[in-house]
Amino acid sequence: MRASYRFAIASLAAMMLAATSPASAKVLRFQAALTGKAEPDNTGSDATADARVRVDTVRGLVSVTMVVHGITTDQLWKKLVAAPIGPVHFHEYQADGNSILALPLPYGSTYTPTRDGFRIVSRNYDYAAGAKLLDSTLSFADFVAAMQAGKVVLNIHTDTFNPGEIGGKVMPG
């Protein structure tokens, strides 16, 4: 009887672990190429960035790896560097040309200077917590749908170009 009791406990524990495992999450992958020569920014800046974005649709988490060339951390918009929202954001652009701030990448330890720019590595960032920093009206489900539809832009705000020096559409892939 004791062996079957232990087996039942072990089986229950294994089922609970499997139910909470990240392997059960649905992860969507996106990418963005940021430039200063594309709408909506079109600043003429020679800076560039490449971003890889992973979205865990079950847990509501967003992971971003971005490498920026031509903009250094000391050029980022100081007003936003000092603010909880930071100088890098996801925006949903609507048909009327207006945008909704969706998700910030707050400045901090996830930003690392490089020889000619900086790198951001942000893992498992809680969408709800980030959207709350912006008082965003965009739900997580709407954010994911907008990203899948190519309506989200990732941009970098600098002292020289407060609205955004470079930006790029976030596309599935």
pLDDT band at 96 (very low <50, low <70, confident <90, very high): confident
User: How far apart are alpha carbons 86 and 80 in whole angstroms?
Assistant: 5
- pLDDT (tens digit, 9 = 90+) per residue, 20-47? 444 556 999 999 999 999 777 789 999 9
List, in sequence order, every beta strand (DSSP E) within 14-146: 27-35, 48-56, 61-69, 88-93, 99-105, 111-114, 117-126
CATH number corresponding to 25-172: 2.60.40
Are 149 and 68 within 8 A, CB to CB?
no
pTM of the model: 0.83
CA 161-164-166 angle, 5° bins = 105
What mean pLDDT is predicted for residues 140-164? 95
- pLDDT (tens digit, 9 = 90+) per residue, 48-72? 999 999 999 999 999 999 999 999 9
**For residue 44, how many other CB atoms are within 10 A of its CB?**
10
